[in-house]
Amino acid sequence: MDYRKKLIVKPGSRVRLTEIDPAYHGKHETEESALEDLQANVARLTRLQYLLYAERKHALLIIVQGIDAAGKDGTCWHVITAMNPQGTTVTGFKQPTEQELAHDFLWRVHPHVPGLGEVAVFNRSHYEDVLVVRVHKLAPKHVWSERYGLINTFEQMLVDQGTTILKFFLYISRDEQLGRFKKRLDDPLRQWKISEADYKERDYWDDYVEAYEAMLEKCSTDRAPWYIIPSNHKWFRNLSVSGIIADTLDDLDMRVPGPSVDLDQIRREYHSASAASGNKRKRK
């Protein structure tokens, strides 16, 4: 199934998250039935990232956003599992430092974008500056409202330089979020991930929904699209994200580059020398 067509936010379209089912799971009913497709996606990602790294004509930037407990960390983990870490980076954008706040809001992001042949994954991103900044009124409206256009211009510049951009908004229901918080509270291995602030942020749920809808409407472009990923089912989240990435990389029609040296010369010089050395040892 081509989840790109199903889950993409078409440029200029109206977005109402209340009209989207966060429990949607496509053609598969269970994680077990989706396992074969997921494993195939992982294998494709491994092969395609190898081609990306070898060819060095393209770069891939993956942006992951979502409300608390939507699975940003888990998505990053499953994407990276399929890729050689030599050509892949993950950057998490937390609360800006004092130095970062002294610069424009994109200053801290630009150094982490991928070079040709590389994959960069952003766990949260520059979009925090039209999300949390908007919801908590950390900047006046005339400031954050101008950032949508600046973001589009920034991303277009990256695309013009050879970067493919894929943006995933992980969407879960309010009840699913509360259930995941409860699991964190009860699991000693995950209790470190929960805080009182997580629960307090739930009071701003409707405000965040409004901010996400504006982000999706204003910043899904032909060259840097947003995808809304129903994420109540973690296995479907991983399946759809991995499939979209693999299908997009496939479209780049990448090839292993030819050798940059004279292979025949290397064979003559080194293999003949090795054979001669072996003959000498035999005579001794």
Q: What is the rounded average pLDDT of the residues 231-253?
A: 97
**Residue 282 pLDDT:** 54
pLDDT band, residue 224 (cuts 50/70/90): very high
| Global confidence as pTM | 0.93
Helix (H, G, I), strand (E, B) or coil at 217: helix
Collapse the DSSP code of 38 into the 3-class scheme (helix H, G, I; strand E, B; otherwise coil) and give the result: helix
Name residues whose C-beta falls within 8 Å of residue 75's C-beta, 6 or more positions apart in sequence: 64, 168, 170, 237, 238, 241
Structure tokens at 225: 């699209």
Exposure string over 254-271, b if 16+ CB within 10 A, otherwise e: beeeeeeeeeeeeeeeee
Structural contact between residues 153 and 110, judged by C-beta atoms closer than 8 angstroms: no
Q: Tell me what pLDDT residue 129 has.
A: 98
pLDDT digits 0-9 by tens, 68-104: 999 999 999 888 889 999 999 999 999 999 999 999 9
Q: Which two tokens stand for residue 181?
A: 């918080």
Yes or no: say if 226 and 220 are a contact pair by the CB < 8 Å rule: yes
* Both tokens assigned to 229: 């990923």
pLDDT confidence band for 113 (50 / 70 / 90): very high
pLDDT value for 1: 77
pLDDT of residue 274: 57
What domains lie within the chain, and their CATH numbers?
Answer: 3-283 (3.40.50.300)
pLDDT exceeds 80 at position 271: no
For the chain, give the percent of residues with pLDDT over 90: 86
Q: Is 49 helix (H, G, I), strand (E, B) or coil?
A: helix
C-alpha angle 188/191/192, rounded to 5°?
120
> Are the beta carbons of 28 and 36 closer than 8 angstroms?
no
Residue-level pLDDT at 128: 98
* Distance separating the N- and C-terminal Cα atoms of the chain: 67
Residue 231 · residue 168 · CB < 8 Å: no
Determine whether 247 is exposed, middle or buried from the number of CB atoms within 10 Å of its CB (0-12, 13-18, 19+): middle
Q: Are 152 and 219 in contact (CB under 8 A)?
A: yes
Q: How would you classify the pairing of strands 119-123 and 163-171?
A: unpaired
> What does pLDDT average to over the chain?
94
Spatial separation of the C-alpha atoms in residues 76 and 93, rounded to whole Å: 13
C-alpha angle 210/216/219, rounded to 5°?
130
